[in-house]
Structure 1
Amino acid sequence: MARFRRCASRRSASPPRSSPQVLVLALSACALLPWGAQAGLYTQSDQVVLLTTSTVDSVLFNSSVAVVVEFYASWCGHCVSFAPLWKSLARDTREWKPAVDLAVIDCADSENWEVCTRFGVRGYPTLKFFHAYSSKESTGVLFQVPMRNLTTLRRHIINMVETYKDSWPPACPPLEPASQVEIDKFFETNSVEHLALVFEKADSYVGREVILDLLQFENIAVRRVLDTEEGLVSRFGVTDFPSCYLYYPDGHFTRLRLQMEGRTFFSYALQRLPGVVRSGKPPPLASDISPNNTEMQWKQFNRTRVYMADLESALHYSLRLELAAHPTISGGALTALKRYISILAKHFPGRRVVRNLLQAADTWLQSQEDPEISYKSLLAVLDNKAGTPEAVLPKGLQWVGCQGSKPHFRRYPCSMWTLFHVITVEALNSSISDAQDILQAFRGYVYYYFGCRECAAHFEHMAKESMNLVKKLSDAILWLWSRHNRVNNRLAGALSEDPHFPKVQWPPPELCPKCHSLELGDHAWNYREVLSFLQEYYSANRILLDYLEPETELLRRQRGHQVIPKENEEVTGDHTARAARDVHEDLEEGQVQEEPPQEDQEEHPGMEDNQELDADQFADPGEGGNDVTPDLPPWKKAAPEEAAARRPSIVGLRPREPREDIVDLDSFVNQHYKAKALRAALISQRARKALPRQHEGGELQDVGLQPMEPDQFSWGEKQRLQKRALTGKYTGLEEEEELDVRSQSIRGPWMSVLSLGFSRLDVSLCMLLYMLSSLCLLAMYHYFQLRVRHRRGKVALP
């Protein structure tokens, strides 16, 4: 009989002070809880049925499903200790729900006291089994096993299911051993694609557990065959027990070769056979992931790697879209936001410009002393309105590893989980934050800002259970991983599950064989290997940069939409503001003409969109061009200097006050050639318009014009003249250009050769230097002449 213990409820030594802020937080916590989730030690996210006085009869009586009920009292210490085991059993038997389900009822609730008394419950916790189609007079069958082990409870449930004496429940498959005659005639009465035969010994539960695990899947049937069935054993050549064989209508069979022979490995492999789908869901089609529209284009990617595009998309969505739902941020929400941004600024392993932006946002947030901030002010920082150099957060969503076969699958939730995993691994490598800083930052953001409120409530429920027990960063990595797997278990088979990306316990055996092991025939995780795998999988060195827009293009676009005030120039020390102002002043004076920017011709790497993706293939991380792992992540290496800003072409030649800017002489000379050719073409065109015209033979002919010599301009100058004529752009002052060209025509040919490539200011400077050098030489000559005369006079003295 189940043991029970009466425990007094513990009271807090120092009750919390009542304040408006505490009241608001309490109301917010209540609002987060899903409907019907306030039943003592359990919630609906624990995958158990929460019984009440009004629902107990409909669930337990005349039902096609067997139910195992735990009667407990929320004040009982033993019930509190047993609750995690019961929750684990519910997750472990989740696929059995059409045949057997788990339920709980809190007898400490005054409304349920009459029900518990009706079923003869005198101690807590008490477990009772109710057969399918039980009558209202039934009080259930008491569990007579120790409630300390998950395997014992699971196997006892199977024993109770097999004790049916009347009609077998329609949803429950046959659990008795199959005979050779049944297997030979199986395909005559069943239309399934696969028949799995689990060969085992009489005392093994593997076959029955696998049968129940596949209960909610179609196109497959599972039968257990004992080692005493010599005909089938000899036909299939079975030597190992347990082992699994696939049998087909044409008579051929094959053994299911797995890393380990056990229930979990058999069930996982059978659920992913071709054509095997969950009941009520159509099989995934390859055409579903490559629609012919512009709304979503499928990107080929490596399922064994993390993509930076997903992480940057997560940042953009969370900081620009989810936070936008909060016009003002204050109180606990502001504190949570500061912690979240601070953790991102410290540990986000992104590109240089993104990290600079996160650090600028963190600095701005930490400097805010007001109890309330507006989202518009934060958005200005995220958009870098202050002009922080080399800082930008890309806009837009670019899902790669987190893309779904349909627009409503995966995407943002997947990217947030990935971001959390990457941050925890980076924190362990850097060792500048503790485990609670990381996890509490995630918890605060999900609690206040995550858009799916039921998801936020589930995460908060998991955090309350055990997050405060995490002390080390390595434990934080494992805690987040185990909770992610719990969410996958809860959502497997739900409408939100992508058929191309089924929610499984991760990592699967084919991705990390060493992470899995068997203990007494049951699956067990090798936590040391899991931690090692997570550190490598989410390491910054393995994050791929495919499908990302180049940093130079991001900065160029940001500068194009950014207005930098003059008063910020001296404070920030940014030379970009001064250069932009100088160019603007030159344009106003008619002396500078900016060159049009060239379009970026770089394309994003990636495979063709119409290539078919095999949903069941996992690429080897050591193969493929995308899997070359550098010593350091690309964004942590010394970034190349950004291409120098395009200098303006100088057309006007009026002297200006000297500036500290460094001028590119090569660019200056090239632009001077263009200016000379443009002047000659402009004067020739003006001369044509000034000369009289005569009409001869119905055609207009120019009179008094001499044909232009073919060698007057070089081929490059002719091409530049044609481009200028097409654009219709003319620069410089027309009067000065006419005088300059006329003066050139007066000069001799030698003067033209000497002045080729030099402006009048350059020639004047050269002449001035020539005169100064001549005067210097003349002074040196007179000095030495006087010196010689003086020495001759001394020698002539007696």
Structure 2
Amino acid sequence: METTSSGVIPAPFSAGYRSILQSIGGDGAVKSDYVVELNAADFDAVLEETPATYAIVEFFANWCPACRNYKPHYEKVAKLFNGADAVHPGIILMTRVDCAVQVNTNLCDKFSVGHYPMLLWGPHSKFVSGSWDPEKNTSEIRSINDARTADQLLNWINKQINSSYSLDDEKYEHEHLHANASDLGQIARAIYDVEEATFTAFDIILEHKMIKSENRASLIKFFQLLVVHHPSRRCRKGTAEILVDFDDFAAKKETAVVGEQGAFRNFKICGKDVPRGNWMFCRGSKNETRGFSCGLWVLLHSLSVRVDDGESHLAFTTICDFIRSFFICEECRQHFSEMCSSVSNPFKKSRDFILWLWNTHNKVNERLMKEEASAGTADPKFPKIIWPPSQLCPSCYLRKTIKNDRILNSKINWDYDEVYKFLIGYYGERLETLHKEESILPEDEDEELIVVVPIEAAALAIAIVSCLFGAVACYWRRRQKFLKHKYYLHSLKSI
């Protein structure tokens, strides 16, 4: 199980997204400009299909001298986010609309365009069939002020999404640890890759028809772990929905005809916006490197730092069973299983589990350093390293030996207390979604919801919290299907 050589080629951008990068209404040739030109005819369609989380729309007039002077600044920022060679793809779609063209008059009026150039920011979906009134603050669309230069605009963006992008960023190099090892903020972007990896893992299970009677319990327990501790609320919600109907889901999957199988594969475990078809924090310099395996490792680390002491060994066995049953790289699975089997005593503290997973990951990287060097398959931009490097956590090292710019794990004298603090902060506090967490149930919801999930006593801690999320899932299901009776999850003993 590698961090930079997954064997899984990330899906390319969808055909719809590629069309965004091409001349709208033209001959299909890629534009020299990075900003996407929109008009009233394609405005909603383009903004609806973009995989980007946010959009910026510049309303301008072709006769406006200030607009012509601003264009190079706007293009300079757009180069970071738009186009096939974007440094930070899939985050912001930067567009413009010419209000001097008559066909766009009504569109510009809907967004209260009163001066040129005018920039609006918001989630891409809010622009679709949307409008904006500067006198009302009910919309998630916001006006961008004080962005007269490229630097000012990028600084404004960085403040909105808690990023640290620079106009000097170059493709891939900005993510290369050795080039930017001190930027702890980069991990915040990994939430998208954790969502992508969660979907990919689920998609692989369905694609290879891996749900069998002998491993269903392992999958259910892993889903329960995700429901409680996944760092993305969307993935927690999607996994809870699967658990509610798991028996029906699995039964139909085993007997599904071809058309039904396609319907199952379209189930969005992390919401309708996932998969996005690209990686951010885990993007390698080649399609065959990093990606899924990196995202899966980040997911496992993020789970480990979120479990309590009473859950630590259950979480350990759940992850080990999941990898044994569902990770399709045979050699990686065997290596990971051997390291799981080497644990003789149950973990009583979450700290012990967190450090075991960290040490296991480093052992994998140390092994792959040698194998990739011999085979010449290493990613030149992202060579394997022992984690964390001293640039990120100097206090983690009491003494280290470096050979050929690689830290040898066996030669490091670690300060395990400092490593533990670093892992908690890095994969816990810093790995957080850029979307606001909202309450799942309305505040006035007081209806009694009961879900019975009898599990072995050792699983009691996770079962209690899992029941809560299961109850929430039942609430969603009841509302969606307009049913008036309660739903219960089956006991693992009956599987």
Give the TM-score, by structure 1 length: 0.29
Give the TM-score, by structure 2 length: 0.45
